[in-house]
Amino acid sequence: MRLAAAHAAYTAQLSAAPLSGETRRTYASKTRQYLAWLPTAAVVDGDPLTNPAARDQAVGDWRAYLVTAANQAPATVNNALAAVDDFYARRGMGRATVERTSVPGKAPRFLDRSSQLRWLRAAESDPSPRDRALASLPFYAGARIAETVRLDTHDVATSSHQGVLRIHGNGGRIREVPIHPNLRADIDRWLADRARWPGADTNPALFLNHRGGRLSVRGARDVIARIAVMAGLGADITAQVLRHTFAATLVAGGTDLVLVADLLGHARLDTTRSYVAPTAQDRFKALGLLPSSTDLTTAEPSRP
Does a structural domain hold residue 97? no
Kindly state whether residues 130 and 251 are assigned to the same domain: yes
Note the pLDDT tens digit of each residue in 240-253: 999 999 998 998 88
Does a structural domain hold residue 121? yes
Overall domain count for the chain:
2
Kindly state whether residues 261 and 202 are assigned to the same domain: yes
Contact 6, 35 (CB under 8 A): yes
Confidence at residue 203, expressed as pLDDT on a 0 to 100 scale: 97
Does a structural domain hold residue 76? yes
Kindly state whether residues 40 and 173 are assigned to the same domain: no
Kindly state whether residues 76 and 147 are assigned to the same domain: no
- Cα(271)–Cα(107) distance, integer angstroms: 11
Kindly state whether residues 27 and 130 are assigned to the same domain: no
Note the pLDDT tens digit of each residue in 7-18: 999 999 988 888
- Cα(85)–Cα(70) distance, integer angstroms: 20
3-state secondary structure of 166: strand
- Cα separations in angstroms, 47 against 11, 38, 50, 89, 91: 21, 10, 6, 16, 14
- Cα(14)–Cα(36) distance, integer angstroms: 19
Q: What is the extent of the structural domain holding 61?
A: 2-90
User: 26: domain CATH number?
Assistant: 1.10.150
Kindly state whether residues 164 and 227 are assigned to the same domain: yes
Confidence at residue 188, expressed as pLDDT on a 0 to 100 scale: 94
Confidence at residue 301, expressed as pLDDT on a 0 to 100 scale: 55
% of the chain exceeding 90 in pLDDT:
43
Helix (H) or strand (E) segment spanning residue 82: helix 74-90
Q: Which range is least confidently modeled, 188-192, 201-205, 258-262?
A: 258-262
Does a structural domain hold residue 150? yes
Kindly state whether residues 83 and 119 are assigned to the same domain: no
3-state secondary structure of 212: coil
Kindly state whether residues 119 and 249 are assigned to the same domain: yes
- Cα(29)–Cα(273) distance, integer angstroms: 29
Q: Which residues fall within 8 angstroms of residue 55, CB to CB, at 6 or more apart?
A: 48, 49, 88, 93, 96
User: 161: domain CATH number?
Assistant: 1.10.443.10
Does a structural domain hold residue 282? no
